[in-house]
């Protein structure tokens, strides 16, 4: 049976989500204390997480990072108030969410969104997600059991992208955040060279990267299951 995890900060909303999902045949686990999220994910290994929390109080970026920190690639759905603007919805998606559903909603729409996210998740599994294990002491990275030795700078860059995945970072952003360059300072070719060197070491086909991915206008990110030694 497929297990889902629903996260609330107000138990009043629990039946509105859990009951339609249970009627659909899912096993639904619930968390009402946000500090328990990571442990609950490890315990039940859900195929999808639904957040129904006050986003005026809780940062969606931090909530998504909590899920991703466990090491699993899990689709995340946020339920938000009807009055949320397009810009607010976009910021939630940029924070790492896979979909956003406005309330009030019809149970049929909730079920359809969940089915669509689970289909996408299964496709990702079929794409053979790469597994990385990083050792900060030796700067050695295991790529699907293959050991790769990185320079300190390469390791610092890869480690940062792993810790902040699935977010994308532009070359100027990386220059500032990793190497303390001032805004508009530094040469972005430096970042591109390090990315290229990392791809040569990590990727089976550096010209078609699966681990160090990029999107035009958004920058670079890591797509992998990550463990720290």
What's the whole-number average pLDDT of the chain?
Answer: 89
Residues linked to residue 214 through DSSP beta bridges, in sequence order = 220
Q: Quick count: other Cβ atoms within 10 Å of Cβ 167?
A: 20
pLDDT value, residue 166: 79
What order of strands is seen across the sheet that includes strand 131-135? 146-149, 140-143, 131-135, 225-228
Using the Cα atoms of residue 51, residue 57, residue 60 and residue 61 in order, give the sign of their dihedral. Answer: negative
Lowest-confidence pick of 51-60, 83-92, 201-210 = 201-210
Give the pLDDT mean for 34-56.
91
Distances (CA, A) of 159 to 14, 141, 154, 218: 37, 10, 8, 19
Two tokens, residue 164: 């902040």
pLDDT value, residue 110: 96
Nearest to 52 by CA among 68, 25, 31, 22: 31
Model pLDDT for residues 100-140, shown as the tens digit of each residue: 999 999 999 999 999 999 988 765 554 557 888 999 889 99
The Cα 213–Cα 120 span in angstroms is 18
Give the pLDDT mean for 2-30.
91
State which of 82-86, 165-169, 215-219 shows the largest mean pLDDT: 82-86
- Longest Cα separation, the chain: 56
The Cα 210–Cα 128 span in angstroms is 10
- 72 vs 50 pLDDT, higher one: 50
Residue 195: pLDDT over 70: yes
Q: Please report which confidence band the pLDDT of residue 54 belongs to, taking 50, 70 and 90 as the band edges.
A: very high
Helix (H) or strand (E) holding 228: strand 225-228
Q: Is the pTM of this model over 0.75?
A: no
Per CATH, the number for 131-228 is 1.10.10.10
pLDDT value, residue 126: 46
Q: Please report which confidence band the pLDDT of residue 210 belongs to, taking 50, 70 and 90 as the band edges.
A: confident
Beta-strand runs (E) in 63-109: 76-81, 99-103
Per CATH, the number for 3-126 is 3.40.50.2300
Domain parsing of the chain, residue ranges: 3-126, 131-228
pLDDT value, residue 208: 84
pLDDT value, residue 65: 87
Nearest to 150 by CA among 217, 188, 195: 195
User: Do residues 188 and 175 make contact, with C-beta atoms less than 8 angstroms apart?
Assistant: yes
Going by DSSP bridges, is the β-strand pair 27-31/48-52 parallel, antiparallel, or unpaired?
unpaired
Same fold, 3-126 and 131-228: no
Backbone angles phi, psi at 88, to 5 degrees: -65, -40
Reduced to 3 states (helix: H, G, I; strand: E, B; else coil), residue 75 is coil
């Amino acid at each position: 049976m497929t297990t889902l995890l629903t996260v609330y900060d107000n138990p009043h909303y629990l039946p509105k989500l859990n009951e339609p999902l249970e009627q659909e045949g899912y096993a639904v686990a619930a968390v009402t204390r946000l500090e328990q999220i990571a442990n609950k994910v490890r315990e039940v290994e859900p195929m999808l997480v639904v957040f129904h929390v006050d986003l005026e109080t809780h940062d969606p970026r931090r909530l998504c990072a909590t899920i991703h920190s466990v090491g699993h690639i899990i689709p995340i759905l946020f339920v938000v108030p009807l009055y949320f603007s397009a810009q607010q919805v976009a910021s939630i998606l940029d924070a790492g969410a896979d979909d956003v559903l406005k309330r009030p909603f019809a149970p049929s729409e909730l079920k359809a969104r969940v089915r669509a996210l689970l289909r996408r998740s299964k496709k990702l599994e079929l794409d053979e997600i790469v597994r990385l294990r990083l050792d900060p002491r030796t700067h050695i990275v295991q790529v699907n059991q293959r050991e790769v030795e990185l320079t300190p700078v390469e390791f610092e860059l890869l480690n940062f992208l792993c810790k902040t995945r699935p977010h994308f970072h532009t070359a100027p952003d990386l220059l500032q955040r990793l190497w303390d360059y001032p805004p508009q300072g530094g040469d972005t070719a430096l970042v591109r060279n390090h990315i290229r060197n990392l791809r040569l070491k990590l990727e089976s086909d550096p010209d078609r990267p699966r681990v160090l991915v990029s999107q035009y206008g958004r920058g670079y990110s890591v797509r992998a299951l990550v463990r720290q030694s």
